[in-house]
Amino acid sequence: MTKSPQIIVLDTGGQYCHLIARKVREFGVYAEVRPSETPASQLAGARGLIISGGPSSVYEPGSPTVDPAIFDLNAATLGICYGQQLMAYLLGGNVKRGDKGEYGLAFLDVTTPQTLLDGVNSHQQVWMSHRDTVLAVPPGFTALGATGACAIAAMADPSRKLYAVQFHPEVAHTHPGRQILHNFLFTICGCVQDWDPSGRIPVVEEQIRQAAAGRKVFFFVSGGVDSTVAYTLCLRALDPGQVHGAYVDTGMMRENETEFVRANFSKLGARHFTVVDARREFLAALEGVTGPEEKRHAIGGQFLAVQDRILQSGHYLDADWILGQGTIYPDTIESGGAAKADKIKTHHNRVEGIQRLIDAGRIIEPLSSFYKDEVREIGRELGIDEELLERHPFPGPGLAIRCLCGNDSAAARQIGEGYLLPVHSVGVQGDSRTYRPALALDGMPSGEHAATELINRISGINRVVAAAASHAPLGSLRSAPAYITEERLAHLRRVDAIVRRLSHQSGFDKTIWQFPVVVIPVGVEGRPDSVVLRPVDSVDGMTARAVIMPAALLKQMTEELLQVEGICAVFYDLTHKPPATIEWE
């Protein structure tokens, strides 16, 4: 590893900041992330600088900025999203709040092909997440491309090696993203390959040994990809007798999940592994809790309470023990764990008690710098069964965050093309958290991009769903007070099992990245809940594309789901990420 990065990413608080550096390293070019305000004198010697996106507005007091002297360095500079706006603002352009936002899917039309966009065909799919926009380029700059809602989607001043794009070339759903980054790195910056992205496992194992420093490691595992890979890395890096593990059955698990986990950890060769039944404790901790953040905090707090009891009983809190976790990088980003990043939702591995252990040096997280697709690759190198590695991601808090709750009673309200459902969900718009109602359409729309167009046009929503089938008209649906109960969890477990079975039998589950199944407290008397289907395609979970399943499969699925007790309607989530998160909470 070289000590002098060729590319430095200046962090202005974007959800994808670390992802930019990772994508650069995938080209064999070493990159590092630095605070955006790093003085230009400390950046001299880099071949290129990239200013990340972020949740702020450049014209607001106290918003993240950069040392303006960086634009006079010999290094080429690329601004991304907020980075483009900041470059324009500091160099004399005009940045204002747009008439409407642009979140998720957009199409780039190249108007002035230049070096940065060399090889990029016009009308290419890109991924956006912004409300502010550049209305006029700074002196010396030329607009390179536009989208339907953004007249200046890319700009450049080649004489000063200054380039910027409003969209995110680092995410998988921007189709020409790799070409654009390649152009910037090699044609504009003149980078040379000096970084080998392979060989991660020996590096991580050495980090584990250094962090453990002779101490034993105790893991609470979920049976998912992340915790299993992290646990296996510790088994390899340390003596297997030094690594103990426990699986806590919270009662928020899918059907037959505990049996699956027990069988797979036996295959890993774990010497000290136990299953702990804590179903009653978690249900009691969630009694009467409705808000998504409150729910996550309650779950995280109960995890701590159960963990503390287990750790105390086994003397695992003694000085010769530390706690292991399978936290991956998106968990830390969405929990606001990076400088200037907005908190989208609290991950259960980042509640206050866990943070205290981190601050005390009592936590080891081997995967905290990696994304889900990287974790799967590491798992394959470790020889973990493909059956486990190819499991769809499942949230640590389990079905609790897919069982939405509320205290209110309200009716669905018709607006324009659809109905505002009386239930809120979490979104991410402009790199910031939103908590807004969903718009429900009466039937599946014909246009592929209906959700994107509606959310960009209608303020106050962050998600669009379509009614695939219903026992009652949409206008008659209403919400009612609803909480986490054994009965509602049983209904969710049942509908989740139906969806997983039919998805697997049809092969649909092989075409998608994840398929959350959500129960929302919207229905009619006798059938107070409805189901939301949320199949998405992604690479790393940072962005995602809503996927429409075959009509015959959807018909079969809805027919079975509407037979489940208490279920009134089946909705299909049409929304990409952004503007919606993958999970509803």
| 165, 154 contact by CB (below 8 A) | yes
Tokens matching residue 343? 């908190």
Pairwise CA distance, residues 408 & 431, whole Å? 29
259 catalytically annotated: no
Active-site residue, from 170, 334, 374, 585:
170
| 226, 232 contact by CB (below 8 A) | no
Pairwise CA distance, residues 383 & 55, whole Å? 40
Classify 122 as helix, strand or coil: coil
| 233, 366 contact by CB (below 8 A) | yes
Q: What is the largest CA-CA distance in the chain?
A: 69
Strand partners, 142: 156
Pairwise CA distance, residues 441 & 527, whole Å? 20
Amino acid letter at 86?
L
- Vertex 554, ends 550 and 560: CA angle to 5°? 150
- The CA dihedral of 314, 316, 318, 324, to the nearest 10 degrees, is 180
17 catalytically annotated: no
Inter-helix orientation angle 486-506/551-561, to 10°: 150
Among 128, 85, 121, 84, CA closest to 106: 128
Query: What sign has the CA pseudo-torsion 265, 199, 9, 132?
Result: negative
81 catalytically annotated: yes
Active-site residue, from 17, 81, 403, 405:
81
Among 287, 539, 291, 326, CA closest to 401: 291
Strand partners, 532: 518, 571
Active-site residue list: 81, 168, 170
